Amino acid sequence: MSDVRSQSPDPRRVVEELAGRLCTWDRWRRDDGVGALHLVNEAKRLEASAAIRSGAAFSLGFELRAELPQPPGSGRLNPQHVMTELPSDAGPDSAGSVFADDMLLMAVHAATHWDALSHCFHGGKMYGGIDAAEVTTQGAARNDILPAARRLVTRGVLADVARHRGVEVLPPGYGIGADELREVLDAQGVEVRPGDALLIRTGLLGATKVSGRWAEFAQSGPLVPNTPGVAPDALPLLGELGVCAIACDNWAVEQLTGGEPFFPVHELALVYMGMLLGENFELDGLADACAAAGRYEFFFAGQPLPIVGGVGGPVNPMAVL
């Protein structure tokens, strides 16, 4: 277990100490909003296609439901599906074409989604040193979700930390650090390469679906929950490996230990590394299939909805083994 935050008398220093080391603002163009997705190109997608062997496909998206996964008081509206036209509206004797139609209202970050590079800020800046004022009531003028919608098809790798530890779900507040990620990937016999999307399984989403304890899964008030996730000290390794995006089966990707909101992984990954974060990913079915096949790489299609100005994007990611 890793909990870098508790090792410092000032937890905010975690971000200050790692920001300069992890910053990629000068590696690519600062103003195109692409960030680490620059590592995903045609050659990378051809490499990803070689990971398809059985053709088995897995949806990693949480079902769009009116009551889940956000608990009451979360501030994020779960998907509300409303019918706007019914066949009965036409009447039984209608001679014309008859249709049904519907609409969806939801918080962009409610279900399975990616955080855009304009979702989080540090020192009044977002990725590339762009001023936070570029995000207004009209949305994000810079660093919105569109580049991810146009690029995010690549090779995926699963790090099944929960299975490696022999548990259904990692303990509350458990931090997955660099040493543990290396250990898990080595044990699985899989190599992470530049441009890969890394999916990290804690077991939390699946366990919460069984227990129904959603108030402990997501923030539902002023305090964050106490949940397992990625620790800040994993980020230098992910940067070294060239990961373009990380996603988890939890609410915030990162390790949370309760208390006042503090998201160092968000600040470092989004603001300084240009690395997308994916939340509320369904990983249990994929994990079972990977374990049965003895391989943890796959073709990954994770394009979010192309929301102009969106600081995030809902997604139904697909993994093909």
For residue range 204-221, list pLDDT tens digits in order. 999 999 999 999 999 999
Is residue 5 a contact partner of residue 229, using CB atoms and an 8 Å limit? Answer: no
For residue range 266-281, list pLDDT tens digits in order. 999 999 999 999 999 9
What's this model's pTM, rounded to 2 decimal places?
Answer: 0.96
Is residue 48 a contact partner of residue 79, using CB atoms and an 8 Å limit? Answer: no
The 8-class DSSP code of residue 84 comes to: E
Sketch out the chain's domains with CATH numbers. 4-75+108-320 (3.50.30.50)
The 8-class DSSP code of residue 262 comes to: -
For residue range 270-321, list pLDDT tens digits in order. 999 999 999 999 999 999 999 999 999 999 999 999 999 999 999 999 999 9
- Pick from 308, 273, 24: which is nearest to 141 by CA? 308
Is residue 175 a contact partner of residue 135, using CB atoms and an 8 Å limit? Answer: no
CA gap 276, 273 in Å, rounded:
9
Is residue 220 a contact partner of residue 76, using CB atoms and an 8 Å limit? Answer: no
Within 10 Å of residue 38's Cβ, how many Cβ atoms?
17
